[in-house]
Amino acid sequence: MKKSLLLILISLASWSVLAQTKLIEEVTKTGDEIVIPYKKYQLDNGLTLIIHEDHSDPLVHVDVTYHVGSAREELQKSGFAHFFEHMMFQGSENVADEEHFKIVTESGGRLNGSTNRDRTNYYETVPSNQLATMLWLEADRMGFFLDSVTQKKFEVQRATVKNEKGQNYDNRPYGRWSEVTAGALYPYGHPYSWLTIGKLEDLDRVDVNDLKKFFMRWYGPNNATLTVGGDVNPTQVVAMVEKYFGVIPAGPAVEPMKLEPPVLKSDRYVSYVDSNIRFPAIMFTFPTVPAFHPDEAPLDCLAEILGTGKSSYFYKKFVLTQKAIQASTFHPASELSGEFTMFVLPFPGQTLSAFEQEMRAILDEFAKNGVSDDDITKFKASRESDLINGLASVSGKVSQLANYQTIYGDANAIKYDLDRYLNITKEDVMRVFNQYIYNKKGVIQSVIPDAETAPAQPDNYEIPTSGESAFPTTDYSGLSYSRPKGDKFDRSKRPELGPNPTIKVPDFWKEELANGIKVIGTQTDEIPVVEIQLTINGGHKMDAYDPKKSGLASLTAGLMNEATQNYTSEQIQEELRKIGSDISVYAGTSQTTISASTLVKNLDRTLELMDEVLKRPAFNQEDFDRLKNQQLEGIKAGQKNPGAIANLVFDRLLYGDEHIYSVPNSGIEETVAAITLEDVKNFYDNYYSPSVSELAIIGDIDRKTVLAKMEFLKTWEAKEVKIPELPKAKPSGKTTIYMVDKVDAPQSEIRIGYVTDMSYDATGDYFKSYLMNFPLGGAFNSRINLNLREDKGWTYGARGYFSSDDDPGPYTASAGVKANTTDSAVVEFMKEISNYRINGMTDSELAFMRSAIGQRDALDYETPGQKARFLRRINHYDLDKTFVDEQNKIIRNVSKKELNTLAKKYLKDDNFYILVVGDAATNRPKLAKLGYDIIDLNEKGDVIEDGKIDTQK
């Protein structure tokens, strides 16, 4: 690894101002070491610029990370950083409202932002010719943002944030546990004592001027790192960054924040009631060390030993014995402190107080047993594999650089990061166990489904909501904003694009084995990994042969992840963890997939274990009983979750009771209860066959070598398997509202749609309907989302889409909305869909679709996972490589008239099912005024008439 420190002057041909930019570090790769090469600069205004050059794909990823998160907020003024994550997508001086998403999307790119306790970042991945536009966008919201902030935007985004809180916290099972833990673990006023999303009452008490002051204090270039990675020329990038960011003045100086982690003098018992859950929960949380502290790595190892994998203490004590549906431990660490959490979801009928004692007993047992050599080997292998796989995409590499620079203070921290995990010892783990966890005080939280369920212990700590704070406040006086000056170009004009990059569809090879397996593969040498996906056609679809045992495909796949004839469940997973590999089996709607991921150096051993999983499942009674019970309890738990209820009932409406797709992949209570171990064995014997299988291989290995390693598949004996022909879905009648009562729900879940007659096709009506729907419901800037989220602030997100595979699938429009807007949201959904069907798309929407989808290919083939999905589609549908060219030709040439004709044909707004899951007492009277018939259903989709359930309707 080579570093050089230089001072350079860059003269910009497009800008007459001579500015000084320091090249302060250069990191190069000199051998096989794990490193992310980059050049790091600093502008006069304090902006840190990091450039990673990678020409493997015609992509560029831009990340702007501001060193401000919820930790820079103050008591009773929480949620500001997260609020700005929303606000900074709402336009700036030279970028119109909602234009940010539109520009990036029509560039063929993807974008988002995120906020945590310590930083906020905004990022885009786009074709490389769009770089100047991305820098122009980011510079405009860094330096030319405040004048565009209005009270109206403030109010809309405040409503959107409230919806996000309702959807992701208040209305989600166990959604408030992190909020309760934060309040109980940290002292009153500590910036970690509230969540990043903040408290709604804090947002209610502030106005737009409070937000502006927060921005002026923390969002200057001297508190930001701009990281650019991908198919770029560093000299050109520096010139662009100087041009767009150079005139933005530095903000107030930002000093590092240092606070000591909290120390608890006694255990704090807290609890809350969550009506959305079936299983009570108990969790211990202990305060630990900040991110990158020397003790973070051994604490992470301790968490894995105690609660990750089938050999872990928590799995064997609780899950294997069928005492709990889930049990784990984890150790997230932030800039100021870390939190070690032990988490158990017991099956109903047991006391949380007993589980508390059993969790404490596990710590006693670990203190006695200590750490084994295998524990250390498995942990190191998994960390090495995770880090390497994280470098598969340019966005992954850029994100690592940005995080290292912002939180650790050194972008070149990857070697330190990996070494601290590879160098830990058993003694390190025992030391941190005794120092931070064993016999130490923590927060013990109980989440209970009702007031009749007892917490682990009576609450002995009340989270304070008022009082004096010992933590410093920020001086916001003297802050002022003036528009940056000094540009020698017209910033209002969007930059011209460079030449379109050449998009390379991955080269691939095909082979068909003698037993019928269709193989497809491609070689890629960016990282030393191999990904293998074996798909066995059928999946849940095969449950159609015995619908009374629906869920059998899912349960069979689950058991394939357990014991084999030569390994126990624990043994085979431990063998995989020793080499940092993963093998998993999952049954989807129409396929069962066996996937394997491994470092190249461990491929042979991974394939030996894949052979074992595929050909020699043990199907033990003990494993079967445990997984069946988990599947049943998962189904019951879903009956508490409004979103899960909506999905289940909507499928039953769409398909009718005679169709297998009216039942979820996991089945329903009655069908899973009927499944026996003999059923599982027969399902495997009858339907797992190479004659209906396809194989995709992606990685740093050539065709000849990898095929030679596939001998175990060549000897897999074929049998005749017939995939069932499914009946047509139940015809939809006139548009009707179906209501499921979720008493006092703060949000309503809405689903609207019907089953089309379109199966998947690559270039026909199905593909063209995707193009047609894109401006209506397929993008952030779609009509549906702009209306319900951005204009009204009723939802965190609304969408519409077509979804088909081998069989026709539905058109679905969906959203979770504020309860008091339920009827109005249904009106707006139907208005947007009907207007679009009648009047079609506009010329500008057609142009937007063409630009957005026409440039998307650059992002679709980057990582092994993306390549796998692409190759699987080609293999399954027997597509020629030129199908991508044909799709691009359709995108360029399809007429607005043809797409509008498809809208009239497939947006059947007079034959929709409209499902609402929400509080019936408040919503039903208002829905009744919309003019549709209303039918009441229970949470399983049965019709309720005069208070009675009629399962025949």
Instruction: List helix spans (H) across 423-469.
Output: 426-432
3-state secondary structure of 47: coil
Q: Round to whole Å and give the CA distance between 722 and 129.
A: 49
Structure tokens at 737: 């509202």
Q: What is the pLDDT of residue 560?
A: 97
Query: Once rounded to an integer, what is the mean pLDDT over residues 430-436?
Result: 98
CATH class for the region spanning 509-714: alpha beta
Residue-wise pLDDT tens digits, 548-591:
999 999 999 999 999 999 999 999 999 999 999 999 999 999 99
Q: What is the DSSP string of 214-280?
A: HHHHH-SGGGEEEEEEES--HHHHHHHHHHHHTTSPP-S--PPP--PPP--SS-EEEEEE-TT-SS-
Grade residue 947 by pLDDT with cuts at 50, 70 and 90: low
Q: Round to whole Å and give the CA distance between 112 and 681.
A: 46
Q: Round to whole Å and give the CA distance between 555 and 627.
A: 7
CA angle, corner 59, sides to 58 and 63, nearest 5? 160
Helices 373-389 and 569-578 cross at an angle (nearest 10°) of 60
Longest Cα–Cα distance in the chain: 82
Q: Is the pLDDT of residue 950 over 80?
A: no
Assigned fold of 31-245: Cytochrome Bc1 Complex; Chain A, domain 1 (3.30.830)
Contact 221, 142 (CB under 8 A): yes
Grade residue 730 by pLDDT with cuts at 50, 70 and 90: confident
Contact 927, 934 (CB under 8 A): yes
Q: What is the pLDDT of residue 13?
A: 34
Residue 75 CB partners (closer than 8 Å, separation 6+): 188, 189, 469, 471
Q: Round to whole Å and give the CA distance between 70 and 79.
A: 6
Percentage above 90 pLDDT, the chain = 76
Q: Round to whole Å and give the CA distance between 239 and 243.
A: 6
Q: What are the distances in angstroms from CA 766 to CA 15, 578, 840? A: 49, 45, 17
Q: Which residue bears the tokens 């401000």?
A: 68
Q: Round to whole Å and give the CA distance between 681 and 665.
A: 18
Q: What is the pLDDT of residue 6?
A: 33
CATH no., domain 268-386+405-448: 3.30.830.10
Q: What is the pLDDT of residue 68?
A: 96
Q: Is the pLDDT of residue 231 over 60?
A: yes
Enter the pTM of the model.
0.87
Q: What is the pLDDT of residue 3?
A: 41
Grade residue 611 by pLDDT with cuts at 50, 70 and 90: very high
Residue-wise pLDDT tens digits, 755-795:
999 999 999 999 999 999 999 999 988 999 999 998 998 99
Q: Dihedral of CA 889/893/896/897: which sign?
A: negative
Q: Round to whole Å and give the CA distance between 377 and 373.
A: 6
Query: Once rounded to an integer, what is the mean pLDDT over residues 652-667?
Result: 95
Residue 429 CB partners (closer than 8 Å, separation 6+): 298, 301, 302, 305, 371, 375, 376
Residue-wise pLDDT tens digits, 18-40:
357 999 999 998 888 899 999 99
Contact 635, 668 (CB under 8 A): yes
Grade residue 9 by pLDDT with cuts at 50, 70 and 90: very low
Q: What is the pLDDT of residue 15?
A: 36
Q: What is the DSSP string of 265-333?
A: SS-EEEEEE-TT-SS-EEEEEEE---TT-TTHHHHHHHHHHHHSSTTSHHIIIIITTTSEEEEEEE--B
Residue-wise pLDDT tens digits, 514-536:
999 999 999 998 889 999 999 99
Residue-wise pLDDT tens digits, 848-882:
999 888 777 777 778 888 888 899 999 999 998 88
Q: Dihedral of CA 354/358/361/363: which sign?
A: negative
Grade residue 155 by pLDDT with cuts at 50, 70 and 90: confident
Q: Round to whole Å and give the CA distance between 286 and 446.
A: 15
Q: Is the pLDDT of residue 170 over 90?
A: no
Q: What is the DSSP string of 729-791?
A: PPPP-S-EEEEEE-TT-SEEEEEEEEE-SPPP-SSSHHHHHHHHHIIIIISTTSHHHIIIIII
Query: Once rounded to an integer, what is the mean pLDDT over residues 460-466?
Result: 94
CATH class for the region spanning 736-865+879-950: alpha beta
More confident residue, 125 or 639: 125
Grade residue 949 by pLDDT with cuts at 50, 70 and 90: low
Contact 595, 699 (CB under 8 A): no
Q: Is the pLDDT of residue 94 over 90?
A: yes
What's the mean pLDDT when you consider all of the chain? 92
Q: Round to whole Å and give the CA distance between 826 and 529.
A: 48
Q: What are the distances in angstroms from CA 844 to CA 8, 106, 775, 847? A: 45, 11, 10, 5
Q: What is the pLDDT of residue 867?
A: 87
Q: Is the pLDDT of residue 920 over 60?
A: yes
What are the start and end residues of each CATH 3.30.830.10 domain in the chain?
31-245, 268-386+405-448, 509-714, 736-865+879-950
More confident residue, 472 or 41: 41
Q: How many residues does the chain have?
A: 953
Grade residue 173 by pLDDT with cuts at 50, 70 and 90: confident
The strand pair at 518-523 and 693-699 is best described as: parallel
